[in-house]
Amino acid sequence: MDHRTTADDTIPATKANSMDESIPAVDRQSEARESDEQLMLAFAAGQTDAFTALFVRYKQPLFGFFRRRLADPAQAEELAQETFIAVLRSAASYQPTALFRTFLYAIALKILRAHRRKAAFRATFFGEQPEGHDPAGHSDPVVDLFMREAMAQLNKVDREVLLLREFEQLSYAEIAELLELPLNTVRSRLFRARSALHDLLLAPAPTRTPSAPATEVRA
């Protein structure tokens, strides 16, 4: 019997096994991760764990969505929860005609606009003042304030396009669908918003120190 070894035979068994096992492990992990759309359809079919998975994926991004647009973190948390409740209620009629996150942020925008209409009504008829700003704990309050003031000076549509692109990381196509704008309009407005914000942030600092925090960044 020929006992000569080949180049393949010289690879240590442990190394060969680790190489063979590492790649399938990654593949299995990616295959096991169901898409958002698959999870939403599974939840609509009665699998409650599917909604739990969606909640874990989007609870922080959704809170961030509202936190960047509202002064009060507690209010942002409340509206994020309200959005998830709306997703629960609409699950039976859900159709994966668009990405789940586009569907999610569309609901979030509707809830945000409804909240602002109610706040404007209360301010007009009951004289209620907006709650004070409480910057995120990791932010420099002064930097956070000047950023909010700069954002507040942008055109409201330009500002929303910028937030959706830079913070929610939506694609141009998703933003166009969400805001019902032509794709080229999204591109041009994003460029304009970035340029305007750059100029505002590089402008000479005002001589005064902000005495009162910004109340809300409106989209």
Q: Quick check: 181 pLDDT over 70?
A: yes
The verdict on domain 135-206 having CATH code 1.10.10.10 is yes
pLDDT score of 199: 86
Count other C-beta atoms under 10 Å from residue 16's C-beta.
11
pLDDT band at 49 (very low <50, low <70, confident <90, very high): very high
d(CA 58, CA 172): 20
d(CA 106, CA 175): 10
pLDDT per residue as tens digits for the range 56-101: 999 999 999 999 999 889 999 999 999 999 999 998 888 888 889 9
Is the pTM for the entire model greater than 0.85? no
Place of tokens 């739990």: 52
Q: Quick check: 189 pLDDT over 70?
A: yes
Per-residue H/E/C for 43-103: HHCCCHHHHHHHHHHHHHHHHHHHHCCCCCHHHHHHHHHHHHHHHHHHHHHCCCCCCHHHH
d(CA 197, CA 107): 27
Domain boundaries, the chain: 35-134, 135-206
Between 110 and 25, name the one with better pLDDT.
110
Do residues 156 and 219 touch, judged by C-beta distance below 8 A?
yes
Q: Quick check: 54 pLDDT over 80?
A: yes
CATH class label, 35-134: mainly alpha
pLDDT per residue as tens digits for the range 117-145: 887 766 666 555 544 433 343 445 566 67
d(CA 130, CA 31): 47
